[in-house]
A and B are shown apart, each in its own frame.
Chain A
C-alpha cells in the first residue's frame, strides 16, 4: 500500500468519526426542555400552589365533568342530564379511574411537597407545611368518602413504594390528628408567609387566619361524618374543631377563582351547559324539595336564558332560591324536575316529553349580565355549611349551641349567597311544607330526629334539607355524604337502578339500601395492583360493588316523609 492510499484511508476514517466511538456523551441525556430539582427554583411552592386547581372536586373540565357532573351530581340527585349509565348507578371504569388517580396524585404531590419542605428551616416553612397538611386531608377525604379504604401514604419516614390500602377509620383518625396539628402551627406566632408571594395562594392570598378557620371547619365537617358510626369520636372532634375556631362569616368562604380561559379554567358548569349545549337538569327530587317550602309565590317573570322561552307550567309556591338555581325548560318553559335515574331503554311506554332534557328545568345561574358566567368562582366550603354543621351538633347536644339560631343563620347565609336575603324572614316564619313534608319554620316540627308518627318535618330533616340546598351545586359531594349517613333529605329512588345489583326495584324512599353507597374501585386497580387491592376489599368489609356501605355509613334512615 502506498502512502497516498494510506492518507486517503485515514482521512476517510476521520470523516466517519467512528474511531472516537467511545467518547463521552456529555449531557446528551439531560432533558433540555424541562427543569428538574437541580434548577435554582423553589418547586415546593409552585407545586403547592398548583394543587388547588388540580384537586378534587374542582378540576379541569374533562375530569370534572366525569367525576363531578356525571357521578356525584347524580348520586346526590342534585342534577341530571343526558342518558349516562352512571345515573342508574352503573359504573364507568374510565371515570372512576380518573377520580382514583386524582386523589392519589393529590396525596402524593402533597407528600412530596411536605418532604421537600423538611429540607428548609422549620420556622420559615411552618405555615406552608400546615397548608399542605390541610390540603392533603382535603384531597384524601374525598377519596375515602368515594371508595372507602384507599392507599393513604405518609409523608414521614421511608418512602413506601406502593402504599397499602388503609381502613376508612384509620384514615379518619389521621385526618383529625393532622388538622389539629395544622391548627396548632397556624395558631402560633409566626409571621413567615405561607407563600413568598400572595398570588400563589389562589384561595386565601396568604391569609393565615382564613386558612386556620378553613382547617377547623374541615375538621368539623369530617367529625360530623361520624355521628352514626362513632358518636363519641364525632362529638369530641366536633367540639375540638369548634373551640379552635371555624368560619365566622361569608368573608371566610373558600372559593376557587376561575378565569375566562377556556378549557379547564372556566367555571365548568357554564362550559358544560352553555358551550357544550347539554342541559344540566333539575331533578324530580330537587323539585320536590324546593316546591312549596316557605310559602313564597313563584316569580312569573322567569324565562330560559339560553332559548328565551318564557316560563310555562310551574308550582304556585317555591323556595325563592329555586328560580335562581333553575331556569324553566329550554324548549317548553316548564319549571319541573327530570325523573331521577331513568334508563329510557326500559320504558318504551314513556313519550319523549317524559325524559327529554330540553323539556326540564336547567341550571339557571350561568349567565352574568347577559353573558356566560365563565368566571364564577367555584365554591369549596361556605360559611352556611359550617352553621348547619354546628346546628346539627347542637341538636345532637354535642355542644351547647342554639340549634335554632344556628339553623336560621345558616338559611340567611344561604339566602344571601343566592341573592334573596329580602325573603328570608317570611321564609323562616312560614310553616308551608315542600313535597317531602318539610317546612322552613324551625319550631314547626315533629320532634328532633325521627319520632313515631312524623311526616317529614323533624328538626334534623329541616337542617339537612337546608344544608342540602345550601350545598348546591358545587358541593354536591357533601350532599351525597349526608344522604348516605342519614338517608336525608328525602329524594326519589332512582327509577332504573343497575339490575345486576338491584334485581328488585323497590321504590321505598325510607330504605337507604335503595341508593348508591360508594364508587367501585377502578378495574385497572384490580389488574395492576392486585394484591393490595384484595387487601383493600377485605378492609372494605364487603364486595367491591356500589351497594357496599363504607365505614361511616351504617345504613341509618332519618327520612320520615310519608312516601
Chain B
C-alpha cells in the first residue's frame, strides 16, 4: 500500500460522457496500484491526490473503464465512452451481490430501466419482450393489466409453474398468476400477474439470471431462473427533481376481415333465431329481427370501430432524490390512468416508492425501502367461451345486426320486455348475445393494495469481513367483486353477487456473511448465509344468488348464499454458502451450496442440498495479441436446484358440503390422491458459453445449455379407475436444450452519428425423456377444449393433440356421400405449441441529441389452434366464408365408398360447418414477425437549457406493437392466447386483439 505523499499533488477534474457531453456523477476514480480513490460529484467533478506519473482508473457502470496518466495538469477533463459491449458491466447476481460480468461462469443479461420506460407497457414484463435472449414473454389477450407469462429457456416442469422467481432488491416478490382461466371462461377473470405491479419508473435495471447456475443461491423457487429487479436509489444525487409523463392511445394492432354480404340465417334462408350468417344476400329489406323491424343489411356492425373506443393510458411520474454525505433519499410517485378500448372498463394504479440509505457509523450502514401500490380495475374482460366475451360474440353475431339496433333498449337497461337481455336471437341459449349487457351490466371490479419493502443493516466487521442482515416482505390484499345482472340468461338468472378477498404475505429474513481477501494474484470471496421464508395466503369467497329484489348486489340480498374461507401457510428454511476464486483476472471459479428445509415435504424427509460450480477463463488476458479480438472469455457451469411441493399434498382430505335442504352433510373426496412420501424435485443444468469482443464495435455472446428436471412433483392424470383423477408424485425427466446468441454491434460510428444494433436469438428444444412407469402421457390443457395440449414420453412439452382428416393411402382427404370431408375419429399429434426460435432485433440510431430506436421481433416455428377461425367460419361471418354460398364447392379428395375423385358439390355452409370438428383444419403455423417498439427522442442541448430552470428536457414519440410484419393467422394475433397459464398454450380462442399503442413521452429534470 505504498504511496508517495511527498510528491503528491491535488488533481481535480471533470468527467463527462463522450456521447452527449453530460457530466457523469458517481464515477469511481482510483489511483492505480493504491487504495486512494474518490467518486465524482453531481456535477461530474472530482479531486484526488496523485503523483504525476500515476494512473487514474475511472470506472462507471455502462461505460468503458479508462486509464488516464495524471501528468502535470492540475485540471483534467476526461470523457468516458459508453460501453456498448457491456463486457465490463457490473451485474447484480444472486442475493444482490454485484459482480463484474466477466467473472461469471453463467449467462446473465441486463436491461436498463430506460429501456423499460420509453416504449412502456402497463405491465413491465411485456416490455422485456425481444430484449433478452432465451426469454419468452407471452401476454395474455385480456387487456390492460392482464397477466404475462415469462419463461426462460423453455418449460421445465409439466404440472407446476414454469415462470421464474422475481426478486426485487434482494427480496423475492410474488409473481402470482391469476387462477388459470379455462376454455369456458367461467368468469375466472385475469387479474394480472405479480411483476406487473411494479412501476417501470422505479426500476434502475433488470438482470435475468437464466439458468440454475446463476440462480442456485436462490434455492427452491429459482429452478426456472430469476428476474432480478433493482430499483433506483438516491445515490450520488445532488438534489434532483424529475417529472415524466407518457400518454398513449390504443387501438387494435390487427383485426380479421368479415364478410358483409350475407346476413342472419341458415341454409340461405333468413332466420331470426340463429347465431350465424348463412342467410340470404342482404338486400336492405325490412325483416322481423329479434331486435325489431330492421333493415336486413350490413350497417354499423364493426366491433372495432362501432363498439370499441380508442383506449388511452396516461402515466405521470414525479421523482425526488438527494444524497448528502452519508445519507441518500429517493421518493417517487407514479400514477397511471387507463381507459381501455372496451367501454366501461379501465384501470388506475398509484405507486409510491421511498428508498433511503444511511451510513450510520464507519462500520454500520442502513438501507430501507417501502413501496406501496394501489391498483383499481373495472370490468376486466371475459375470455374464451365465457358468454360475456364480446370478442366471442363478435365472431358469431350475424352480420345483419348493427350496434345501433340495441340503442332503443338502452333506457331499459339493455333489457327486452321479458327482463332478459335484448338479443339478436329469440332464444338466448347460454349468452346475453348483447355486448352492451356484457360490458355495462355484468361487471367486475378488483382492488389490490400491495406493500413491498425491506430493511437491511450492513456491518463492516473488519476490512475483509462484513455481515448483512435483512428482512423484507411482500404483502398484498385483493378484493374482487363480480356481478351477474338480474335477467342474465342461463347461469345465475336471478342475478348474483360474488365477493372474493385474498391476502398474501411473504416474509424473508436473511443474513449474509461475506469475506473478501486478495493474495497476490489470487482473490477470494466467500459468503455464508441463511434465509427463512414464510408464506401465508388467506382467502374468502362469498356468493349470493337468486336475488329477491332485482339489482340488489350484495351478500344479504340473495336467497342462496354461501361462503368459503381458506388459509395456506408454508415455510422454507435455508443455509447457503459460496466461494469465488479468481486468478490474475483470467481464471474464475465459483462454488455454491445450499440446503433447504421445506414445510410442505414429509417431516422426516424435508431437507435437501444442492450445489453448483461455475468457471470462466478470460483467455485474452492469458494470450495477448489475438488480432482483432480484444476480449475473449470461455465459461462453463453445472448446477442443481431443488424445489419443494405445493401445500397440503401429503394427506387426503374431505370437502364437506350440505345439500340445499340442509338435511344431510355430503362429503367429497379430493380428485387428487395424496402422497405421504413426496420428496423434493431437482433441476440439473449444464451450460457453456463464449464471449468475444472485437474492438468496441462487435460483441458476441453465445450460450449453450441443457437442463433436466428430475423427480418433478407432478400432478399426474391417472385413470379414473383408481378412484382419483390425479396423483401427486415425483417422476419424470424433462429436458430442455438450447442455444442463445447475443450480438451487439455498432455498424456506424461517424462523428455525432451512431447506430447501434443488437440481436438476441435463441432456440430451445424440449423433450419429455421420461414421465412415469405407467402413465406415459400428461394432459396439460384444463377441462374440455377443442384440442388438448399434452406432454407425452418421447414427445415434447406442448404437443397439440386433436382430430385429423381421414385420408386414403395417398394422403388424399376422404369425402363422404354428402361431399363433406370425414374426420378420422382418432386423436393424433397435430403440432407443437412451443416456438422453435425467438429473435429480437433492436436498434438505436442517434445523432447529436436526437435518437431513434426500434425493435422488431420474431417467433418462428410452433403451431396454434385458431379457435377464432373455427367459430368465425362455422358461423359464416369471416370473409373467407363468402365464396360458394350458392354451392359449387368441390372438396379435393376421394369418395369414401368407391375411392373415386370426389365430384359432389356443396355450399360454403356445408363445408365450413361440416369440417368444424376437424381440428387439423384450424392448426396454423404460429410464426410471426412484428414491429414491437418504436421510439424517437430529442433531448434539448445544454446550451439551450442553461437559460431555463431545467437540467434536462427530453421529449419523444413512442409506440408499441406497431404492426404485424408477417403472420399466417388471417388477421388474428397468434400470440394472443386466452390464458397465460401453461394449460392454454397452443390455443387461440376469441381473444382480444393485441393493442397498438402510440403516444408521447416528456421528461423534465430540475
Contacts and interface: CB of A to CB of B under 8 A. Distances in A.
B667 A276 contact: no
A151 B719 CA distance: 9
Contacts of B784: 93-94
B762 to A, nearest CB: 31
Contacts of A22: 573, 597
A12 interface: yes
Contacts of A503: 816-817, 896-897
A104 B655 CA distance: 19
Contacts of B947: none
A94 B652 CA distance: 27
A539 interface: no
B721 A351 contact: no
B566 interface: yes
Given A16-B510, A261-B560, A277-B427, A46 B719 contact: no
Interface in A85-108: 85, 90-91, 93-94, 100-101, 103-105, 107-108
A162 interface: yes
Contacts of B717: 524, 527-528
Contacts of B159: none
A316 interface: no
A413 B887 CA distance: 54
Contacts of B597: 21-22, 25
A538 interface: no
A108 B660 CA distance: 25
Nearest to B784: A94
Nearest to A108: B723
Interface stretch (A175-183, A341-349, A442-450, A486-494): A341-349
Interface in B752-809: 774-779, 783-784, 788, 790, 792, 801, 806
Contacts of B269: 351-352
Interface stretch (B403-411, B475-483, B822-830, B960-968): B822-830
B531 interface: yes
A53 B659 contact: yes
Interface string B926-963: 00000000000000000000000000000000000000
Contacts of A525: 719-720
A6 to B, nearest CB: 10
Given A29-B600, A50-B667, A104 B720 contact: yes
A358 interface: yes
Contacts of B267: 344, 347-348, 350-352
A17 interface: yes
A18 B719 contact: no
Interface string A10-35: 00110111111111110011111111
B469 interface: yes
Contact of B667 (A33, A43, A347, A504): A43
Tell which of A8, A12, A49 has the most Cβ of chain B within 10 Å.
A12
Contacts of A227: none
Interface stretch (A386-394, A459-467, A529-537): A529-537
Contacts of B545: 262
Interface in A385-407: none
A162 B720 CA distance: 9
A230 interface: no
A3 interface: no
B217 to A, nearest CB: 15
A348 B268 contact: yes
B664 A199 contact: yes
B671 to A, nearest CB: 8
A21 B573 contact: yes
A260 interface: yes
Given A16-B471, A36-B654, A528-B779, A112 B725 contact: no
B651 interface: yes
A444 B597 CA distance: 83
Contacts of A529: 718-719, 721, 774-775
B273 interface: yes
Contacts of A278: 427, 429
A530 B722 contact: no
Interface string B591-604: 00000010110010
B774 A162 contact: yes
A346 B906 CA distance: 9
A259 B603 CA distance: 46
B477 to A, nearest CB: 19
Nearest to B598: A25
12 contacts: A5-B363, A5-B461, A12-B457, A16-B510, A46-B654, A162-B718, A259-B661, A261-B659, A350-B267, A523-B827, A528-B719, A531-B774
Given A47-B667, A53-B659, 6 more contacts: A31-B653, A162-B722, A163-B722, A262-B545, A501-B825, A525-B720
The 8 closest A-B pairs by CB, nearest first: A108-B723, A261-B660, A151-B721, A94-B784, A50-B666, A104-B720, A499-B816, A529-B719
